[in-house]
Amino acid sequence: MQYKPEVVVITGASAGVGRATARAFGRRRANVGLIARGRDGLDAAKREIEEAGGEAIVLPLDVSNHDAVERAAGEVEDAFGPIDIWINNAMLSVFSPIMQMEPDEYRRVTDVTYLGTVWGTLAALRRMKPRDRGTIVQVGSALAYRGIPLQSAYCAAKHAMQGFHDSLRCELIHDKSKVRVVMVQMPALNTPQFRWVKSRLPRKAQPVPPIFQPEVAAEAIVWAAYGNRREVNVGWPTTAAIVGNSFMPGLGDLYLAKHGYEAQMIDEPENPNRPDNLWSPLPGDHGAHGVFDDRATDRSITFELNQRRGWILAGAAALFLACALARR
């Protein structure tokens, strides 16, 4: 039987998590549609995929444009055939106190981070549902459940993604559809965004420690695309934030009010006039990693345990049964 490469679409593929995920699917020899605004990063991602044994098509566009996303989906299928996996990863943010935010900044972050996910999902569903197969991966965040100070627009957009994800799953189950949708909730990651995002902070931004490398996120996305989970948490801080917010949201408010500002900044002054990527991409190839390699870990033990939770639960049940029998 002749090998047929899988067809994968990744939004936000030029840098950060999207770039690491593109490399991961390249190693699987997939045919990948690469969507982002930055042509330099897309071209570099295409080269990396082809060097790894896959194929790629570059689709420079803004995911806030519904029609452009729809056309891109058609171009991918014209080039490679039916789409098997669609990954919604594109995002924007603004680091700023709420009272200093501008209306068009909220609109812009929402258009890309939330509505870009909706447009990508619709483009995938229009093709997957009639075939009754395919997987859609929504790249979420611990901030989809727990809002933090100074990132209100991004937190709100991720919360919206989570609500959309739940609604979509219910409808797919109702329709008895075999199309799968899974949301992968991410921890703090060492991506380039902290040096190109629009910021009004007095000092340079950082991911809230502990920090994970984007390859950890990419591994989780690939695994989720082939698994059977409705949601996957990556890293113990993600699970701690989600579970803690379920039981003690007020305590979370107090903790973040006291520590959430300093945790998002380093001891270097920010340049208020530096360019940012809110309205247009920054030139150049920025790769997958940010500037925090010396502080980031390339492994998540909790995610590795999560992957094997069936065996762990079975082992725990067997141990419990053995202890119960031994007491007789």
The residues carrying an active-site annotation are 154
Kindly state the tokens that stand for 189: 């990651």
SS3 of residue 13 by DSSP: coil
Query: In angstroms, rounded to a whole number, what is the distance separating the alpha carbons of residues 220 and 211?
Result: 15
CA distances from 220 to 64, 260, 299, 311 (A): 25, 26, 11, 18
Burial of 39 (0-12, 13-18, 19+ CB in 10 A): middle
Query: In angstroms, rounded to a whole number, what is the distance separating the alpha carbons of residues 272 and 200?
Result: 7
* Residue spans of alpha helices (H) in 85-139: 103-109, 116-131
Q: What are phi and psi of 212, to 5 degrees?
A: -115, 150
Query: In angstroms, rounded to a whole number, what is the distance separating the alpha carbons of residues 23 and 47?
Result: 10
User: Of all residues in the chain, what percent are helix, strand and coil, respectively (each to 5)?
Assistant: 50, 15, 30
Kindly state the tokens that stand for 99: 């009272």
Q: What are phi and psi of 53, to 5 degrees?
A: 115, -5
How many Å separate Cα 82 from the centre of its chain?
A: 23
Query: In angstroms, rounded to a whole number, what is the distance separating the alpha carbons of residues 85 and 5?
Result: 12
